[in-house]
């Protein structure tokens, strides 16, 4: 197993690359979710201001 | 034809003519010898001014690599001519005999290329080592069979 | 055609009345080029190595800094919406404005470049290639630049954004222009590069005015 | 004809919001599955390369993201053109939602390329044709995003940034070839071997699976982004009110 | 013009607005600041595309018959559209040439009519705001379009100037022209008021 993580001496390069990929993909998923929350909150606030 | 239609037609004609001229010029350009690359042959023929930095590309000649600490000397060939390159520094992992490399530097008075940077180009083949070995043996077998032992 | 000549003459007249705007890009060009010998070294061999790139990059930056003048003042005083509403084809008006811009910046930069080149130890026998590349390249810079200005003219702080939009598009011109000059110093044939610069010029001449017109109609909303 | 009708319905904001919402979970599940298979095959099953050893495994994320960076740009410019010509709001939404995703793929391709280049070529960065044009592609994406963000009026922003994306698409090949040509100034074709690039099936499989996974990932994130953009844009419509009420009774 | 909806930002300024104008009519658009008067004018002259609905000219959508509409329409916005570095005469000459008028007599007559004859060689940057406004309205006289769209034509203009402009409006209407204008002041001349339709925006 440690041999696997060692990556034939290229551990730093390989794992940094995979780590970056994971981070960037994750950001791409999180951003729309955060936007969803914020948008729904704003819209609700706007509607409630309008109705009463 | 209404003025609007005439104007549209004019625009279409202009666009076609313009793009046509641009395409013709591009084709003319590619007929000229656009690919300017420095090969050992060009260095040998003395076309290049000395003391100007440029890059030279070629294959590392097998059996010419001599290491002295961090200093490396090897011959670079384009199969017709070759030039000697000296370089001090760390070589990339892919640097090996027979490999294509690009060296950036200057030509000295003695005709030796003094590189300040050596880059290795990796080829576009990806395979496991066993496959590579198998291919190599197959090639040797074939060569032997043809009567050209390596 | 009246639209083209009327606008061209109007803009030339405006530039001549606005001396400082006419001189600023030229002064910028001179100063940037003269910074290099001061910052690097006065060694003529080093200078010659860098001369093609220095001249081309300085000309490119000088053009870019003057781009806003194509539409900015017309936008601010309301002339631009009048031009967009005129019944002449907008791309002819745009072409008139861009031509005037080139005559007051790119053309003058080109005419000045030999003197500056000599100061960078540039071999006199290669000056014609330098002038040719600039003559073919600077109008392309103005044409492509006009798209960027048209897109950013409605924004209060469009300056840096304009650079971000335009500089990536300038790279092919810079590459062909500078490398043609560079290779001519080495005594190589550069007809290929000149053809490519001409091709880029013709292509942008045919397409850029339409893109600029479309951009103006969008940003004036 | 049925296909046309489907697209026509799909282009109405309300239907898009509904259909996209029902598609996302399925697409997301498939993406995750393919990613896991691809990673397993790429990291555990595929053998090391004969020349580059283990380091070549960066390829399984580098190559798909480089492909996607171009693909997303084409989608962005294409939908921007559709939006400008036929005045379809949804097309603009898709174009502008694609920009940040494309930019992140481009960035990923550059970073992983750099991490691969250091051990293999001996440099973090070389001004090689591929690298340089990828970098310029990133600048084009950033330009589109910056221009989109600069306008307060959404409609103006979408159309202005759309024009820039289309201008960029004409320039992408020009930039690519100019940079390639500029680079070959210094290195002759004698260096690169022009035999057909060959890749062993055990390495090709994870590469292709990862590529499909990236493509689906793009689809998922695009739909997510576009959905909330549509909801924001259509906030005055009645169906948005209905949707909000349905969410919080 | 039918069922037009205009918006600035995410705020809808007006919706389902529709009206019809025929030759010889004047449309006076009123409304408080920020009610969308300028937006409406810009939609009418084709600078702005409405969010919904369309503007028709001679029965055709102005987006598809843009060149006819542009030829037959003059718009004077709240910005004058004059170059400060050119003289009054040069400005008017450029405007005239851009609208297809090459007659020096027309240009000279317009300058006299607007009371700018003595100032024709002065740079526009040196003219007063009222004089600039007059010069901007000079476009109307050199182009002779059917439809005049005027955004606050009377700002910064003195009583004399107002008289001159109103007289021009009357003769334009009598010659079967159409005028659309915004103004905070009521129109003073009875000839204008009897041809006037008012639309007020909230």
For residue range E127-186, what is the model confidence (pLDDT) as tens digits? 898 899 999 998 898 888 888 999 988 888 888 888 888 889 999 988 888 898 888 877
Say if residue D104's pLDDT is above 80.
yes
- Domain limits, chain C: 2-220
**DSSP 8-state secondary structure symbol assigned to residue C87:** S
Question: Which pLDDT value is given to residue B149?
Answer: 36
Strand order in the sheet with E196-200: E73-76, E147-151, E178-182, E26-30, E196-200
Residues E73-85, mean pLDDT to the nearest whole number: 89
For residue range C64-80, what is the model confidence (pLDDT) as tens digits? 999 998 999 999 999 99
> Which residue from E minimizes the CA distance to C10?
E94
Output the CA torsion sign for D148, D151, D153, D156: negative
C151, burial (CB in 10 Å: exposed 0-12, middle 13-18, buried 19+): buried
The answer to whether D168 and D140 are in contact (CB under 8 A) is yes
Q: Which of B38-47, B67-76, D145-154, D156-165 has the lowest mean pLDDT?
A: B38-47
Q: Which residue has the higher pLDDT, B107 or C6?
A: C6
Chain E residues in contact with C221 by the CB 8 A cut-off are 42, 47-49
Question: Which pLDDT value is given to residue C209?
Answer: 95
Q: Which of A18-27, B128-137, C156-165, C200-209 has the lowest mean pLDDT?
A: B128-137
Residues E104-122, mean pLDDT to the nearest whole number: 88
Question: Would the CB atoms of B23 and C199 count as touching at under 8 Å?
Answer: yes
Q: Which residue has the higher pLDDT, D238 or A9?
A: D238
Closest CA to C195 of B33, E103, E84: B33
**Which tokens go with C101?**
């811009």
Q: Specify the number of domains making up chain E.
A: 1
Question: Which pLDDT value is given to residue B87?
Answer: 87
The answer to whether C109 and C122 are in contact (CB under 8 A) is no
Which residues in chain B (107-126) have CB-CB distances under 8 A to chain D? 117-126
Q: What percent of chain B has pLDDT over 90?
A: 9
Which residues in chain C (69-108) have CB-CB distances under 8 A to chain B? 89, 91
Average pLDDT along chain E:
83
Q: Which domain holds residue E39?
A: 1-72+169-202
Q: Which of B123-132, C15-24, C93-102, C141-150 has the lowest mean pLDDT?
A: B123-132
Q: What percent of chain E has pLDDT over 70?
A: 93
Q: Which of B85-89, D118-122, E46-50 has the lowest mean pLDDT?
A: D118-122
- Domain limits, chain D: 18-46+59-191+198-247
Query: Which residues are paired to E69 by β-bridges?
Result: none
> How far is the CA of D198 from the CAs of B91, D109, D194, in angstroms?
26, 21, 11
Among C205-214, D234-243, E120-129, which range has the highest average pLDDT? Answer: C205-214
Buried b (16+ CB within 10 A) or exposed e, D226-235: bbbbbbbbbb
Sequence-separated contacts (24+) of B123-126 with Cβ below 8 Å = B123/D51, B123/D192, B123/D193, B124/D193, B124/D197, B124/D198, B125/D51, B125/D197, B125/D198, B125/D199, B126/D49, B126/D52, B126/D56, B126/D59, B126/D198, B126/D199, B126/D200, B126/D203
Residues D152-168, mean pLDDT to the nearest whole number: 93
Average pLDDT along chain D:
83
**Within an 8 Å CB–CB cutoff, is residue E9 touching chain D?**
yes
Would you call C30 helix, strand, or coil by DSSP? Answer: helix
Phi, psi of B87 (to 5 degrees): -155, 140
> How far is the CA of A12 from the CAs of D16, D35, D137, in angstroms?
44, 22, 27
Chains that touch A (3 or more CB pairs under 8 A): D
**Which tokens go with B121?**
């180009």
Which residues in chain D (42-61) have CB-CB distances under 8 A to chain B? 47-52, 56, 59
Chain position carrying tokens 């993201």: D65
Which of B36, B59, B101 has the CB atom closest to D185's CB atom?
B36
Q: Which residue has the higher pLDDT, B7 or D228?
A: D228
> Which residue from E minimizes the CA distance to D157?
E9
Domain holding E56: CATH number? 3.40.50.300
Residues E13-18, mean pLDDT to the nearest whole number: 73
Say if residue C63's pLDDT is above 60.
yes
Among A9-18, B102-111, D71-80, E3-12, which range has the highest average pLDDT? Answer: D71-80
The answer to whether D94 and D79 are in contact (CB under 8 A) is yes
Q: Which residue has the higher pLDDT, C69 or C40?
A: C69
E72, burial (CB in 10 Å: exposed 0-12, middle 13-18, buried 19+): middle
Task: Please count the residues of chain C.
Answer: 221
At residue B104 the predicted structure's pLDDT band, cuts being 50, 70 and 90, is confident
Which residues touch D125 (CB under 8 Å, ≥6 apart)? D114, D117, D131
Would you call B68 helix, strand, or coil by DSSP? Answer: strand
Which residues in chain B (52-81) have CB-CB distances under 8 A to chain D? 54-55, 57-59, 78-79
Which of D164, D166, D178 has the CB atom closest to C172's CB atom?
D178
Question: Which pLDDT value is given to residue C48?
Answer: 83
Chain position carrying tokens 């803009």: C11
Would you call C186 helix, strand, or coil by DSSP? Answer: coil
> Which residue from C minimizes the CA distance to E65?
C87
**ipTM of the predicted assembly exceeds 0.85:** no
Question: Which pLDDT value is given to residue E7?
Answer: 46
Say if residue B57's pLDDT is above 80.
no
The answer to whether B100 and B83 are in contact (CB under 8 A) is no
At residue C11 the predicted structure's pLDDT band, cuts being 50, 70 and 90, is very high
Say if residue E60's pLDDT is above 60.
yes
Q: Give DSSP secondary structure letters for chain D.
A: -HHHHHHHHHTSHHHHHHHHHHHHHHHHHHHHHHHHHHHHIIIIISPPBTTTBGGGGGHHHHHHHHHHHHHHHHHHHHHHHHHHHH--HHHHHHHHHHHHHHHHHHHHHHHHHHHHHHHHHS-S----HHHHHHHHHHHHHHHHHHHHHH-SSHHHHHHHHHHHHHHHHHHHHHHHHHHHHHHHTTS-TTTS--SPP-B-HHHHHHHHHHHHHHHHHHHHHHHHHHHHHHHHHTTTSHHHHHHHHHH--
Say if residue E14's pLDDT is above 80.
no
Question: Which pLDDT value is given to residue D35?
Answer: 94
**Which tokens go with B39?**
């090969």
Question: Which pLDDT value is given to residue D8?
Answer: 66
Residue B71: CB atoms within 10 A of its CB come to 11
Closest CA to E181 of E202, E199, E156: E199
At residue E12 the predicted structure's pLDDT band, cuts being 50, 70 and 90, is low
Closest CA to E157 of E179, E178, E130: E130
Q: What percent of chain C has pLDDT over 90?
A: 65
Residues D151-167, mean pLDDT to the nearest whole number: 93
Residues D69-96, mean pLDDT to the nearest whole number: 92
Would you call C220 helix, strand, or coil by DSSP? Answer: coil
Average pLDDT along chain B:
73
Question: Which pLDDT value is given to residue D197?
Answer: 47
Question: Which pLDDT value is given to residue D3?
Answer: 63
Chain D residues in contact with E10 by the CB 8 A cut-off are 154, 235-236
């Amino acid at each position: 197993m440690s041999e696997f993580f060692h990556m034939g001496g290229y551990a730093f390069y390989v794992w940094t690359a995979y780590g970056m990929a994971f981070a960037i993909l994750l950001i791409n998923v999180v951003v729309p979710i955060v936007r969803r929350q914020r948008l729904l909150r704003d819209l609700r606030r706007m509607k409630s201001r309008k109705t009463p | 034809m209404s003025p609007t239609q005439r104007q549209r037609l004019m625009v279409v004609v202009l666009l076609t003519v313009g793009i046509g001229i641009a395409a013709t010029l591009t084709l003319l350009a590619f007929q000229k010898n656009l690919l300017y690359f420095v090969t050992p042959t060009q260095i040998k023929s003395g076309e290049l001014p000395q003391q100007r930095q440029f890059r030279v590309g070629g294959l590392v000649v097998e059996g010419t690599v001599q290491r002295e600490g961090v200093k490396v000397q090897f011959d670079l060939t384009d199969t017709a001519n070759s030039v000697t390159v000296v370089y001090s520094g760390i070589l990339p992992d892919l640097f090996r005999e027979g490999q294509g490399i690009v060296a950036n530097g200057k030509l000295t008075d003695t005709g030796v290329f003094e590189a300040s940077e050596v880059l290795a180009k990796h080829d576009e083949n990806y395979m496991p080592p066993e496959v590579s070995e198998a291919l190599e043996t197959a090639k040797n077998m074939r060569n032997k069979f043809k009567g050209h032992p390596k | 055609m009246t639209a083209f000549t009327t606008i061209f003459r109007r803009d030339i007249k405006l530039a001549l009345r606005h001396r400082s705007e006419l001189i600023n890009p030229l002064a910028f060009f001179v100063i940037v080029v003269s910074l290099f010998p001061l910052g690097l070294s006065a060694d003529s061999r080093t200078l010659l190595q860098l001369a093609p790139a220095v001249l081309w990059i300085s000309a490119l930056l000088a053009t870019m800094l003057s781009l806003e003048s194509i539409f900015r003042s017309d936008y601010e005083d309301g002339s631009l919406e009048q031009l967009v509403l005129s019944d002449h084809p907008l791309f002819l008006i745009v072409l008139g404005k861009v031509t005037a811009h080139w005559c007051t910046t790119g053309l003058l930069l080109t005419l000045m470049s030999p003197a500056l080149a000599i100061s960078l130890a540039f071999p006199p026998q290669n000056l014609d290639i330098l002038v040719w590349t600039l003559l073919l390249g600077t109008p392309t810079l103005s044409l492509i630049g006009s798209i960027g200005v048209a897109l950013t003219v409605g924004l209060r702080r469009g300056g840096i954004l304009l650079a971000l939009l335009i500089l990536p598009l300038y790279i092919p011109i810079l590459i062909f222009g500078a490398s043609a000059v560079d290779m001519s110093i080495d005594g190589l044939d550069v007809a290929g590069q000149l053809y490519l610069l001409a091709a880029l010029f013709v292509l942008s001449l045919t397409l850029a005015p339409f893109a600029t017109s479309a951009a103006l109609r969008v940003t004036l909303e | 004809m049925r296909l046309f009708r489907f697209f026509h319905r799909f282009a109405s904001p309300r239907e898009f919001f509904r259909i996209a919402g029902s598609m996302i979970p399925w697409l997301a599940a498939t993406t995750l599955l393919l990613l896991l298979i691809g990673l397993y095959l790429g990291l555990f099953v595929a053998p090391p390369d004969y020349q580059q050893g283990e380091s070549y495994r960066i390829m399984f994320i580098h190559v798909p993201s480089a492909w996607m960076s171009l693909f997303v740009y084409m989608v962005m410019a294409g939908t921007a053109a559709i939006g400008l010509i036929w005045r379809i709001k949804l097309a603009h939404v898709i174009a502008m939602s694609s920009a940040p995703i494309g930019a992140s793929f481009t960035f990923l391709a550059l970073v992983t390329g750099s991490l691969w280049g250091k051990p293999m070529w001996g440099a973090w960065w070389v001004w090689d044709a591929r690298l340089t044009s990828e970098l310029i592609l990133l600048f084009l994406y950033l330009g589109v995003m910056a221009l989109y963000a600069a306008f307060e009026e959404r409609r103006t922003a979408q159309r202005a940034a759309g024009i820039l994306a289309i201008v960029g698409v004409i320039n992408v090949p020009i930039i690519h070839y100019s940079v390639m040509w500029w680079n070959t100034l210094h290195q002759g074709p004698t260096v690169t071997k022009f035999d057909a690039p060959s890749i062993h099936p055990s390495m090709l499989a994870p590469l292709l699976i990862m590529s499909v996974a990236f493509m689906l990932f793009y689809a998922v994130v695009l739909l997510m982004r576009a959905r909330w953009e549509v909801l924001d844009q259509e906030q005055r419509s009645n169906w948005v009110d209905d949707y909000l009420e349905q969410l919080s009774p | 013009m039918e069922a037009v909806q205009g918006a600035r930002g995410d705020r809808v300024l007006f919706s389902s607005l529709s009206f019809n104008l025929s030759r010889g009519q004047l449309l006076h658009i009123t409304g408080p600041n920020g009610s969308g008067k300028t937006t409406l004018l810009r939609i009418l002259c084709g600078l702005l595309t409405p969010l919904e609905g369309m503007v028709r000219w001679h029965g055709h959508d102005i987006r598809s018959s843009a060149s006819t509409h542009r030829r037959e329409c003059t718009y004077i916005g709240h910005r004058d559209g004059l170059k400060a570095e050119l003289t009054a005469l040069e400005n008017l000459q450029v405007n005239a040439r851009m609208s297809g008028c090459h007659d020096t007599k027309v240009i000279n007559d317009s300058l006299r009519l607007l009371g700018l004859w003595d100032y024709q060689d002065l740079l526009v940057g040196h003219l007063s705001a009222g004089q600039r406004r007059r010069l901007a309205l000079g476009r109307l006289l050199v182009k002779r379009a059917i439809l005049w769209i005027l955004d606050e034509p009377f700002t910064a203009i003195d009583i004399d100037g107002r008289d001159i402009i109103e007289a021009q409006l009357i003769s334009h209407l009598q010659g079967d022209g159409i005028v659309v204008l915004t103004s905070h002041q009521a129109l003073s001349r009875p000839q204008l008021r009897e041809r006037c339709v008012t639309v007020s925006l909230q």
